């Protein structure tokens, strides 16, 4: 059984149907990169996987549990399915340590010394051990995004979702965030990413999903999709992002 199973999912906002019968599987340990033009439904699909949006029809299951906004133990579900957004969403009035440990302290009832050790551990994984006592305003955009990733890692998720996490960064800061994600991939984290970083998609992903007009238009391993796109829509997209 796949870790994530998406079957014929449809999602509308008012009269606009954004997802038009999307089906997709994500295996445990797989790195799936979703590509496509703006408005193709990529970010909406991620938000549906994490129950931030409710589907109109179809089903999404994660670890065998059907996902919905009204599901039992929604908070515990979201601990296992972390999501990192384009905006860093750090609390500006809290230190890096407090940003990371707020959720574990509330949900896992761990002590303060254990929480600080946890913060040090996850900051080490994103290369920011020396920033534990810093404030968000003292960090670059790339560093803030790495803290946002560390905050998710502190909850020990089984699945990580990334929604355009480098698109708000200056070009020179993108590489440091992608390196963290590459390290996570090597360590076996299951990840689904919406990204315009084609180099990352080619080199790290196990599977590329090209979305177009609210549908999965093509999917397959990077070497297949980039070398021999089967549709003019994917061919045009690849040419536009080279």
Q: Which pLDDT band, with edges at 50, 70 and 90, does 31 fall under?
A: very high
Query: Burial level of 41, CB count in 10 A (0-12/13-18/19+)?
Result: buried
Residue range 4-10+30-241, CATH number:
3.40.50.300
Residue 168 has pLDDT above 80, yes or no: no
Query: What's the confidence (pLDDT) of residue 79?
Result: 84
Residue 12's CB is within 10 A of a number of other CB atoms, namely 15
End-to-end CA, the chain = 36
**In contact, 190 and 160? CB cutoff 8 Å:** yes
DSSP 215: E
Res. 69: pLDDT tops 80: no
Report the C-alpha gap between 132 and 99 in whole angstroms: 10
Token digits of residue 195: 């990204």
Taking the complete model, does pTM exceed 0.85, yes or no? yes
Domain boundaries, the chain: 4-10+30-241
CA nearest neighbour of 190 among 174, 205, 209, 210: 205
pLDDT at 18: 97
List pLDDT tens digits, range 170-197.
887 888 888 888 888 888 899 999 988 8
């Amino acid at each position: 059984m796949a870790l994530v199973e998406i079957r014929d999912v449809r999602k509308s906002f008012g009269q606009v149907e954004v997802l038009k019968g999307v089906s997709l599987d994500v295996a445990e340990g797989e790195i799936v990169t979703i590509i496509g033009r703006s408005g193709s439904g990529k970010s909406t699909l991620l938000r549906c996987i994490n129950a931030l949006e409710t589907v109109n029809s179809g089903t999404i299951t994660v670890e065998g549990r059907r996902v919905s906004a009204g599901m039992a133990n929604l908070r515990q579900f979201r601990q296992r399915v972390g999501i990192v957004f384009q905006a860093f969403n750090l609390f500006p009035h809290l230190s890096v340590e407090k940003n990371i440990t707020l959720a574990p302290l509330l949900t896992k009832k761990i002590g303060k010394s254990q929480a600080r050790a946890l913060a040090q551990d996850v900051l080490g994984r994103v290369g920011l051990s020396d920033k534990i006592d810093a404030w968000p305003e003292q960090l670059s955009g790339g560093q803030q995004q790495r803290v946002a990733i560390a905050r998710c890692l502190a909850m020990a998720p089984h699945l990580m979702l990334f929604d355009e996490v480098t698109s708000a960064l200056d070009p020179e800061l993108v590489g440091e965030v992608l390196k963290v994600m590459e390290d996570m991939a090597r360590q076996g984290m299951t990840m689904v990413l919406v990204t315009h970083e084609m180099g990352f998609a080619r080199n790290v992903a196990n599977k590329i999903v090209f979305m177009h007009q609210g549908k999965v238009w093509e999917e397959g391993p990077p070497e297949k999709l980039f070398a021999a796109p089967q549709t003019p829509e994917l061919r045009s997209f690849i040419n536009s992002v080279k």
